[in-house]
Structure 1
């Protein structure tokens, strides 16, 4: 039973790390623009597709392919912001949210046209031979997911606290009016926030597809769970996104192991609704 519990925990942490990366992408855009960026779900799919092309079309090694895929999604995200959202010339959050839904549909259609509807597979970053860890059998891809998620969280923390651009983004998140008065460019901040969100979504897609399947709409369910994780932790809170993602992943894994895999999504979202009924702003959300 102890080994089974460890297996479920590692599985839950793996899924939770992916949800946390996606949730962080939602939070970055929300903090700078005040909207829910539903294109985030398709950044996950695009990351996996670009990684597939980098490996099998361009013939790149694993690490350059990963970097190219993440960078490619970041560039695509900047294009979405610059040519999809900025021309709207409106600050109405509801209009912008609906616009992201339309852009999401368009991007998903482009992905389907370019790569098709067939399901594909990506190889793991390293050998797929399981390793024994505290009595549990763990895939190396799981360890890579956890390690890279920790690295990304540390890198984001340093970026937002140690760089001038990161401090400007925090200023916009705290007080947009005051940030504009002191000359911080709103367009630059929005473009950067979308680039970061795209990179986070692309990395999540690259990491998760070797243990799932790859298709043009693979990011939809993952993205919705990342959105749920962001709400669970407190929408807009970076620590909340991490806690919400890991908590949601553990809930899914434990419910699948001890109840039934058919109920893992139901249990996770029921707990989400229960938490929000008690604490509407989420676990770590601000008032």
Structure 2
């Protein structure tokens, strides 16, 4: 029982990261109907930025955390303004190809700046003593991950339902042209969505880096698994992103623990194939009118 619980808690921790990355996909999809395949690179840049500020420059962890997230959010804004907004005929496939190109470009720049070696990052708490839960060990960093993800999920839900900007983003998701006629600045809402999506990815990179270390290519697989989690939970559903991430993380952890570590990455894509065949809308799939 303790072995199963250990695998389960490990899967929940990993799944929380997948859910946070999936949440970044959904924030942008809800506002623009765009799948940003550079989302994994925001994770990578968040982790490496946190390493540079906290370890290389010696900044306090809280300041390094905040500045790394802000800088990546600014890069997200730049991607929208420089690479996507000038496109004359913004067909979905064209924009998706641009995000794939941005992903390759950012990964190449990161390799030149930080090299190919992985970097270790300090945990967010000085305590290294694990918490015991019915015989299973839960590291303090895992508690930070779960707490931060729950806080962000709650904050985004309140932002969407209780603020004018959140409601404006939801209106743009329903019908951007109608929202523009009603006086909602749709371009500004799209820009805000890019910034939020990049910031969420950066947070994911910062909180997972102390567990897995960070490198220039860490975002590729994390981004793909975050996309699988978004599809599993239901593309467009924020709570579905959390559910999909946790389900995917637990299945992955159980598969590694009871079968083989060689199938770890294959599980995510197997789950994606099954969900596309059985329930394409996902577990909590959004309807034609996007919702939480």
TM range (shorter): over 0.9
Contact 2:232/2:271 (8 A) holds in 1: no
| Paired position in structure 1 for 2:179 | 179
Per-residue deviation, residues 217-241 of structure 1 (Å, max 9, x unmatched): 1011011000010011111111211
Q: How does 1:130-145 map to 2 (within 5 A)?
A: 130-145=130-145
The alpha-carbon deviation at position 78 of structure 1 amounts to: 0.7
| Paired position in structure 2 for 1:32 | 31
Per-residue deviation, residues 228-275 of structure 1 (Å, max 9, x unmatched): 100111111112111111110010011111222212332343233222
Give the whole-Å Cα distance in 1 for the aligned partners of 2:36 and 2:141: 28
| Paired position in structure 2 for 1:87 | 86
Give the whole-Å Cα distance in 2 for the aligned partners of 1:186 and 1:100: 20
| Paired position in structure 1 for 2:200 | 200
Give the whole-Å Cα distance in 2 for the aligned partners of 1:51 and 1:181: 42
Q: Note the aligned Cα RMSD (angstroms).
A: 1.3
- 1:263 counterpart = 2:253: no
Contact 1:251/1:264 (8 A) holds in 2: no
Give the whole-Å Cα distance in 2 for the aligned partners of 1:110 and 1:66: 21
| Paired position in structure 1 for 2:248 | 248
> Taking structure 1 as reference, are residues 93 and 268 closer, same or farther at Cα in structure 2, changes over 3 Å only?
closer
| Paired position in structure 2 for 1:160 | 160
Deviates more, 1:130-139 or 1:157-166: 130-139
Q: How does 1:36-185 map to 2 (within 5 A)?
A: 36-126=35-125, 127-185=127-185
Deviates more, 1:210-219 or 1:111-120: 111-120
The count of residues paired between Structure 1 and Structure 2 equals: 286
Give the whole-Å Cα distance in 1 for the aligned partners of 2:277 and 2:180: 36
Q: Secondary structure at the match of 2:122?
A: coil
Per-residue deviation, residues 101-156 of structure 1 (Å, max 9, x unmatched): 11111111221222222211111111222221232111111111001100010110
The alpha-carbon deviation at position 28 of structure 1 amounts to: 1.0
Deviates more, 1:162-171 or 1:129-138: 129-138
Contact 2:41/2:220 (8 A) holds in 1: yes
The alpha-carbon deviation at position 279 of structure 1 amounts to: 0.9
Q: TM-score, normalised by structure 1?
A: 0.96
| Paired position in structure 2 for 1:211 | 211
Give the whole-Å Cα distance in 1 for the aligned partners of 2:271 and 2:92: 28
Give the whole-Å Cα distance in 1 for the aligned partners of 2:114 and 2:270: 35
The alpha-carbon deviation at position 17 of structure 1 amounts to: 0.4
| Paired position in structure 1 for 2:290 | none
Per-residue deviation, residues 46-94 of structure 1 (Å, max 9, x unmatched): 0011101111233211111111111111111111111121111333111
Q: TM-score, normalised by structure 2?
A: 0.94
| Paired position in structure 2 for 1:7 | 6
Q: Secondary structure at the match of 2:86?
A: helix
Contact 2:18/2:225 (8 A) holds in 1: yes
The alpha-carbon deviation at position 202 of structure 1 amounts to: 0.2
The alpha-carbon deviation at position 286 of structure 1 amounts to: 2.9
The alpha-carbon deviation at position 8 of structure 1 amounts to: 0.8
Note the residue ranges of structure 2 that are not aligned, 5 or more in a row: 288-292
Contact 1:38/1:100 (8 A) holds in 2: yes
